[in-house]
Amino acid sequence: MSVVVPMALSWAFLALSRWGRRNVAELVPVTLSAERRAREERRLLRGARSLLVLSVVCALLGAVELVSQATGWR
């Protein structure tokens, strides 16, 4: 596996996570009740947090691949 793929995925997931966290209020329809709106916002924040974790995992996979290529370990 190339180092580029997990690193590119990591950056994409990081960007999507940051965008989601910044725009959570705009992503939930205003027409919902206050309770439902709060629940949907929490759900979107959980998704953004999950993307952040996935971003870190992809970055770690890329780092492991880079180290394994540099040391010749396989």
pLDDT in tens, 26-39: 999 999 999 999 99
> Which residue range is the domain that position 27 belongs to?
4-71
Quick check: 74 pLDDT over 80? no
pTM: 0.85
Domains in the chain, number: 1
Statement: residue 1 has pLDDT above 80: no
Backbone torsions φ then ψ of 32, nearest 5 degrees: -75, 160
Residue type, 23: N
CB 16 within 8 A of CB 53: no
Which pLDDT score, from 0 to 100, does residue 55 have? Answer: 97
Q: Which of 49, 40, 41, 44 is nearest to 17 (CA)?
A: 49
C-alpha–C-alpha distance, residues 7 and 55, integer Å: 9
